[in-house]
Amino acid sequence: MTAELDAIAQKMVADGKGILAADESTSTIKKRFDSIGVESTEDNRRDYRELLFRSEGMKKYVSGVILYDETIRQKAKDGTPLVSLIQAAGAVPGIKVDTGAKPLPFCPGETITEGLDGLAGRLKEYYDLGARFAKWRGVIDIGAGIPSYPAVRANAHALARYAALCQEAKIVPIVEPEVLMDGDHDIDTCYRVTEWVLKTVFEELYYQRVRHEGMVLKPNMVVPGKKSAKKASVDEVAEKTVRLLKTCVPSVVPGIAFLSGGQSDEEATAHLDAMVKLGDLPWKLTYSYGRALQAAPQKAWSGKAENVAAAQAAFTHRAHMNSLAALGQWSTDAERKAA
């Protein structure tokens, strides 16, 4: 079982490929569809995700896809299970298994991610449906007096319990502790909080006997808050993120697939590229983006069948740029030439 888990984890961080986060909840994708004037029906959600899974970018640049409960059960218009489309493209199907962040008692403004109850049974069902990896997101906010010790510890413990249950079910866990970039904090505050969070997460993973070789880490980058008066250069983000990860992440972890966390498409690509270019890294660095891969194809598609090819081209372009970044080969010139 351990060899199977390790092989899947390695495939998820294959050179020049990354993970497509297509696990938006029904309420989240409704907001995305509202912004492009598309009704969020089950058929429209299926059609949109099907066009991504049938794209050239999917075959060339995507190693895995995180699905939502609805999507892992859906079939394409021609009756082919969407999971089969992902597998045919050479990618690994995955599944979001947490049930969202809820208020944490006695910790105003902070949350705990729920979904551990009954998880073992759900994982068995998802394995039978084709999932070979899973995702669980713990959310940590920075603000006045937060994060607190209870919030960091509780979310780290939940992530570790989830990861242990996944490995027991022959499913690779993506461990996603996200320090949000919503505040006005500077980059050094993000560094300190992310260091605290990651060290606590790996402590809990150790206590839960999670094998580092059979997991993938999905962290935030070290960036200033969106409302911060102090901006950071691409090189500063790259240097501080890599320095932090080297102090917190065991070298046997096969790979780190970053979340974009609200960065623009090109920012997320540029930051990843700069980190890879630093070299001397014990683990693979790649992407696990949602909005940073999907904003352009959603806009191009706008719910119209005649726009499918344009949407697929937009997705392939963004996936190609991030593939170049994961190889340390991206540049603004490459971005313009391929556009």
Q: pLDDT tens-digit profile of 171-208?
A: 999 999 999 999 999 999 999 999 999 999 999 999 99
Farthest CA pair distance, the chain: 53
Query: What's the number of CA atoms in the CB half-sphere (13 Å) around residue 69?
Result: 8
What is the torsional sign of CA 203, 209, 211, 214? negative
* Cis peptide bond prior to 147, omega within 30° of 0: yes
How far out from the chain centre does Cα 175 lie? 9
pLDDT for res 334: 79
SS3 251: coil
Does pLDDT of 339 surpass 70? no
| Burial of 202 per CB tally in 10 Å (0-12, 13-18, 19+) | buried
> Which amino acids are annotated catalytic?
176, 218
Give the mean pLDDT of the chain.
96
Does pLDDT of 1 surpass 90? no
Q: What is the rounded distance in angstroms from the CA atom of residue 254 to the CA atom of residue 252? A: 6
Report pTM.
0.96
Three-point CA angle 332, 335, 339, nearest 5°: 145
8 Å CB contact between 112 and 127: no
- How many residues make up the chain in this entry? 339
Per the model's pLDDT, the better-predicted residue between 332 and 168 turns out to be: 168
Average pLDDT on 38-49 reads: 96
8 Å CB contact between 172 and 217: no
pLDDT for res 96: 98
pLDDT tens per residue, range 51-80: 999 999 999 999 999 999 999 999 999 999
User: Element (H or E) spanning 66, and its range?
Assistant: strand 62-67
8 Å CB contact between 217 and 163: no
Find residue 284's DSSP bridge partners. Answer: 255
Could you tell me what percent of the chain has a pLDDT over 90? 96
What is the torsional sign of CA 268, 270, 271, 276? positive
SS3 92: strand
Per-residue confidence band for 336, with pLDDT thresholds at 50, 70 and 90: confident
Top-level class of domain 2-338: alpha beta
Does pLDDT of 269 surpass 70? yes
8 Å CB contact between 179 and 111: no
pLDDT for res 292: 93
pLDDT tens per residue, range 128-154: 999 999 999 999 999 999 999 999 999
Name every residue whose Cβ is closer than 8 Å to that of residue 26 and which is 6 or more positions away in sequence.
Answer: 40, 45, 68, 70
